[in-house]
Structure formats: C-alpha cells, structure tokens
Chain A
C-alpha cells in the first residue's frame, strides 16, 4: 500500500488551521466475511478531522461510509470479527490496536454517537432519564442537556419511555446523550434519514448550533449531498470503499473535481432540475463490495474512462480546481459541460379537455387502533380528499409521514375500502402500483417470469404468448430476458424496481400509482428510475399518481403537484407554479426544508412536528405550526379555493384567501 502523495492533513480546516488533527486515519482497510466471501467495505482510506470541524462523509449504499463512522467509534460488528489494516488515531488512541477496555474508555470520555433510527437506537424498556444519566451523571445535567437540544418540558420527559416520544424528540434525546460529557467528537450516522423533511431541517440546525456552543467535532455520515451541504465545513465523498474527493464544502459542491462527485451533483433532484426531458443520470449501479474491479471502482460508470483507469487504484492528488484532493488520474481532462439536453418529453395535451382517469370526491378513511382492552382510538387517515387525475396526466402527491398519502394510493388501488366519499376510475385496466420497497413487493420464492406472467393469466393467453409478453415487458424497462428466470434476491435494488415496473405495465393500466418508488434507492439510481417512469407513462399513455415526501422529485415528476397535510389536500396546482410560488404556509415550509446545495440553503424553519392523525387539531389542522395563523384558523376548516388568473392553482388557507386574489 503506497500512501498518498498529498497528505490529507494539508487540506486546511476552516476552523482551526494550526491545531493538530483530532482524528487521523491512514490506509484503513476493513474487510468482513459474509457467507464465505470477503466483503471489502473500506479499501485504503486516509482522512483527518480537525478539532471543532464538521466533516460530511457522503456516499451511496456500499460505499463504506457507515463502516468508516463505526470504525472511528471502535464499534464495528464483531460476528465474525472484521479484518482491519492501517491505523485510526482518535484523541490520541490507536483504535485499531487498542484493547476493548481502552476503546471503551475512549468512547466514554471523548466520543458521542447518533444513529439513524432513533426508535431502535434508544433502549425501549428504560426511562429517558436513566439512559441519559448513564452519560450525564446527574439528573440536573440530564435536564440541562434535554433543554439544550430543544426538548420541551425536560423534567417531565425524564420519566418517559422512548415509545412515548415522537420521532423528532427521540432523535433530540439521542443527540443529548451523544453530547453529554462534552465529547471531542460526535459521529452522526444518517441522523436525519428516518425523519420528516421539516424535522430533518430542525435537527441539522441543532447540530450546527451544538458545534458552535460545545466546540466539538462532528462526523456527519449521509447519503445526501444536500444534507451534508447544510452544515459541513468539509466534505469527503466515498465511492467503493475509497475516498473519491475531499475538500472544503463550498469547493466540493461548487467546483467538484472527481467525475463521480460531478455526476452525483448533477443527478440530484433540486428545485432547479430540468423538467422538460429526462434528467441527467449516472449509468450503471454502485459496485458490489464483494467484487470490486481492480482499478478505479468508478471506471465502469465514468465518461472519462480510459484503459489505464482499469489497471491501478488512483491515489488522492491535488484536486486542481480547489485546494482539496481527489482520486482520479484524469483530473487534468476537463469534464464535458453537461451534455446538451436535446431529448425532450413530447408535449402533453392540455389537461382540462380530457376525461379524468381518477376522480376522488370527499374521500374519508378512518382506522381503528386497539389501545387496550375494549378501548379504541380512531386514526383519521383521510379527512375529505378531493382530487382528479386526468387521462395521461401525472400528479405528484407530497406530504410528510402520517399525512395519509399512502392510504390514499391504497384506496384508489382498491386495496382498502373507504368509509365515505367516492372514487371513480376511468374505463381502462385496473390501477397498478409501484411500491417503495420494490424487493418486498416481489414474492421471494417466485421467479420474475412467474410474477409478471401472473397478470396475464386472467387474460387467458397461452404459455408461449405469456413468455413473449414477459420478455417484451422486461425489454421495455431495460432488463435482459434472462432476468425472467431469476428470483428477487438475485437482483440489485435498481433491477428490482425495474421488475416491479415491468409487472405493473405488462398490461398497461389506466393509472399507475407510485408509492415513493425512489426513496429507498441511491441518489444516482433515483434519477434513472424517474426517467424510466417518465418515458413509460408517455409511451403507454398511462396517468400517474406519484406519492413522495420530496418536493424536488414531485416537481420533476408531476404535471401538477398536490400537497397533503393530515388527511387533506391543502394546495394543488401546476407543478412549476406550486414549487416556485407556493401559496399555503405549509407548502412554503416544505420548500424551505428541502436541503439545498447552494448558498440560499437557509430559509425559515417550521417549528414542531406534524400533529398526530389520532387527534387532528380543530379548524385548519396546520394552525398549531403556522406562523400566519389567525383566530379563525382554530375553528374554521378552509376549503380549496382557486387562485384567480391561474390555471387551477387551488389553496385551502383562510389568511391567504383573506389576502385576496381568490375565488
């Protein structure tokens, strides 16, 4: 292993340029053995972290980003024990070679950790106060910490169990535990991925504040460049278990040197992404960590690829465009400006003239939850939804968790009976659905061919006819015919999503329902799937209802956007109009919470969390979180009213209506 010609420590930290680094990682290799095969999670990582800086570690699944974070904590999974080479020095302790007790004391004195899912990361059978006191020492200190991380009524919360708190509060408790005892370094592994967009923004802001107050360093591990961009001083981009690029956050985001970083930034769904045609994408999929290519792991997906890339692993060298470093032998070659986007989607005909494929009229749906013997609680999932999707039109439905958007999809699909209202469908084939977790939507023990062919059984076509149409459907989504023999476990995440699409479209439905089909996919794959959806729906003439929590994705996918809050549509209108000039305070807040890469990233934050659908607030359900709420909002539930002079931009907001221009 040759070490890099440029020491990573030369990358100046903006905080304390002269202080010795807090963490120094050199030539780190981590290998796990799974099922008799080596999984090479990290393959020679050099990195340093200065005191008081926030380092964003960005990568896709399998890039080794979480392993990097856990190895700093000395908490890699131990069954079977991983093989480590190289060195990690954290606060003067050699983590690779130290014994368990030394590592434990290091964690106790100097380190803190925040994990992805606050539900599973807190002990479910221990009170918050006791869990905090384990690190905080005294109850008074625990209260102070809870107060510092913004938990209301901290004294009372000490007696709570984790399941009695909301997701955002749980993550705040987790953060309080991480910063207890004034650690020098806090490792945060995807701390906001399991949270709602508006809560994510609050948590990221909190991390920034804490760094300023406590002066400790943070490692922010994330798959989302936008999240890293919010608070990081420096960003390290990981690919295939190696560092692709490291540099000051602004440099990496604005003048990326490595082709992968460039590709990642271009395939991000921002509010400026192009809508007229397919999105730019990275070809292929991230490498399988069980079989890395001998050369640059990114070579198979790289547009600058030359033969030399396949032969040797590239070392980190000066990035050229900025003072950071990047691992690429083609840095001198200027990366082509974005390819001229000649391809454009064909024009969709005007919406109003066409028959609706789906028409929802005042749809209500409650769920009864048992909360003990003979006592029931009612969850109001849908509280009067009116929505139309025209033939061939794409509508994006945006909302946070618990707003009822998935319930609505299932009701339209006929998987759930509704309590009140009407769902009218067009005359075409029954709606089909693409699920968030495509892998889970494929029956594991049946082959792809059987699964797709099942939809043709009711059509009464023969075996050879079925096989032919299965092959055609696979071809349409870009999969080779041999996939028909495979089962779901043998497919990659991207392939599974394509199979799910092929199954849904082998007999093209009148309307295709999509339940967050890209949220479980890597950034570089999401754009590919969105392009495929865009092409398929136009080629097959399907209407589409696309559920997402991401306004960026909604703007790209939808002809129109509908925003949902607590079982009601609060705003609906042409996609570009809703995304650029939102009228409802909630839509405005959602827009403000989209993690952006640019300088305009800081906008107004929304306080609190979505109210529980078990007890929707009176009047306008949004009023407890709304900065523009007036007294009438507490009592009057506003109707959707059309903005004058717009093409069907409708908003349900009392104060907005009062301001005029509506009706």
Chain B
C-alpha cells in the first residue's frame, strides 16, 4: 500500500521486431510461401525473358504443329513458332501489364481516397460521388468500348483498364482513412497542434497501407484474368505479338486436333493467376487480416 508510488514499470512487450516478423512468416502456409517465391521468380524471369527464351516469339522455329515434347516442350503452332517461348513472352507481358495497372490503380485511387478521407466534408462528397459513378460502370464492358473506340493495341487496353480499375482503390483507402479518422488518435493529434498535411501523411496514411497492399495482392489475379480475357477478344497487341489470350483465341480452330495450341497459353494464364492468388493469401497472413 505504497503511498508516493514508486512506479514499477513492467518490461516493454515484444521489443524485437525481428522475432515478430519471423513468427508471422512461419504462420504463412507452405503452399503460399512457395507461391510468393514463384511470383518473385516470375518477376525476375519477366526481366530476363529475351535472354532465356529458347526461340524467337515471332519467327518460326521449326515445322508447324509439332506435338509437345517432340523437340519443343509445348510443341509448335500453326506457323511453326515455339509455343513455349511464346508463352514465356506472354507471361512477361501479362505480369508486367498487371503490375503496371495495379500500381496505377493504387497510386491514383490511393491519392484520391486519402484526400477524400482526410479532408472530409464536401471534398469527400464530390470525390466519392465521382468514384461511385466510375464504380457503377461495368468495368470490362467499358474497357471493351474504350478499346473499340481507340483501336486495338496493348497500350489502349491498359489505359482502358486503368480507367476502370482505380475507383476500387479510392474506396478502400478512403474507407480505411475514415475509419482511422474516427479513432481517438486523430483527435489527439489534432489537439497536439499537428497540421493538416502532416496529419494525413503521418497519422492516417500509414494505417491505410496494409489493407491496400493486401487488397492489391489479392486483386492481381483478377487483373491477370481480365487482361487475358480482353486479349482473347482481340483487344490487345496486334497479330504476331505473343499475348496469352490472343494466342488461345487464334489457336481455337486447332482445338480438336492440335489441342496444345490453344491450351498451353491458357495454362500459362492459369499458372500466373493461381500463383498470384496464393501469394496474395500469403501476403494477407503476413501483413495481417484485411
């Protein structure tokens, strides 16, 4: 029953960031660990594809329609191009395009969401009504319309998809920021005399990052599939370019006799989407739930 309290401070908890991180990584399932590794590998491969692809992606490498494993791992297509090399190049395009669109979505949407969430009031209202308008448009259909208007090319497709992809992130970031803004820590910071910009950047933004990263990583798979679908519809780069969706579409006439021509590019998309979905799950466990 001490009076002038000699305050005994309990030891600080979990002082070592490193131990915490290790337990987090071990909580990620093995499948997801492999997937994260595979995704890193895909990224590296995407950079060095031109040097490691066994054949050219656009010029014939042998006779046409050779069966898989008869000199060519995935066989050759109707003009004798090596399907494996084309799939490698296709993966590179798909992956880099997906990263680019996600990055632009996170940046544009994040900025709009942060400004709307931090400012509140009429700024929030205006920005969110605009976002809602974009969000209520059926994304892929709008993309088709944009590409149809601008003419088929990869960059037009990417621009179209970027236009419809950011509102989702604006919503996520704005929601996170609003939730954070309702916490007492923001009132406390305002009372401490912290300015508006510093409030947004130091007291709000860092809290919205984990949810955004997790959402983005779970979203990459969707994006890979959407881009592949658009490419399949002929809305990507024109003819000889090795794009997975377009390759599958042009291989359709050979489906019943030379199945590998349309199937192999499809499997490439499956691989990329699956690996990103698994890695996304892993990242969610690593960073924390939503």
Contact = CB atoms under 8 A, between A and B. Distances in A.
Classify A-B as touching or not with yes or no (CB < 8 A). Answer: yes
Interface of A: 35-36, 262-263, 266, 278, 280-285, 288, 300-301, 303, 336, 338-339, 341-343, 410, 413-415, 430-433, 435-437, 440-446, 451, 454-455, 457-458, 478-480, 482-483, 486, 489-492, 495, 500, 503, 528, 531-532
A281 to B, nearest CB: 6
Contacts of A410: 187
Contacts, number: 121
Nearest to A301: B8
Interface of B: 1-10, 12-15, 23, 26, 183-185, 187-194, 202-203, 206-207
Dominant secondary structure at the A interface: loop
A339 B188 contact: no
30 contacts: A35-B23, A262-B1, A263-B1, A278-B3, A278-B4, A281-B2, A281-B3, A282-B1, A288-B13, A338-B1, A339-B2, A341-B3, A343-B3, A413-B187, A431-B191, A432-B192, A433-B191, A435-B184, A436-B184, A437-B184, A443-B202, A451-B192, A454-B189, A454-B192, A454-B193, A457-B193, A478-B5, A482-B12, A483-B9, A500-B188
A380 B124 CA distance: 26
A538 B26 CA distance: 51
B7 A486 contact: no
A458 B188 contact: no
A495 B9 contact: yes
B285 to A, nearest CB: 13
A303 B191 contact: no
B191 A283 contact: no
Contacts of A445: 206-207
A284 B12 CA distance: 14
Given A36-B23, A341-B3, A490-B15, A285 B10 contact: yes
Contacts of A455: 192-193
A531 B23 contact: no
Nearest to A285: B10
A525 to B, nearest CB: 11
B183 A440 contact: yes
A479 B9 contact: yes
A444 B5 CA distance: 28
Interface-central residue, B6, B7, B183, B207, by most chain A CB under 10 Å: B7
Contact of A280 (B3, B15, B185, B194): B3
B7 A478 contact: yes
Contacts of B187: 410, 413, 415, 433, 435, 441
Given A263-B1, A491-B13, 17 more contacts: A283-B2, A283-B8, A300-B8, A338-B1, A415-B190, A430-B193, A431-B191, A435-B184, A437-B184, A441-B188, A445-B206, A446-B203, A455-B192, A478-B9, A480-B9, A490-B15, A492-B10
Contacts of A444: 185, 207
Contacts of A479: 7, 9
A16 B126 CA distance: 70
B10 A441 contact: no
B1 A284 contact: no
Contact of A489 (B9, B13, B191): B13
A431 B193 CA distance: 11
B4 A443 contact: no
A345 to B, nearest CB: 12
A523 B14 CA distance: 25
Contacts of B192: 432, 451, 454-455, 503
B153 to A, nearest CB: 43
A303 B184 contact: no
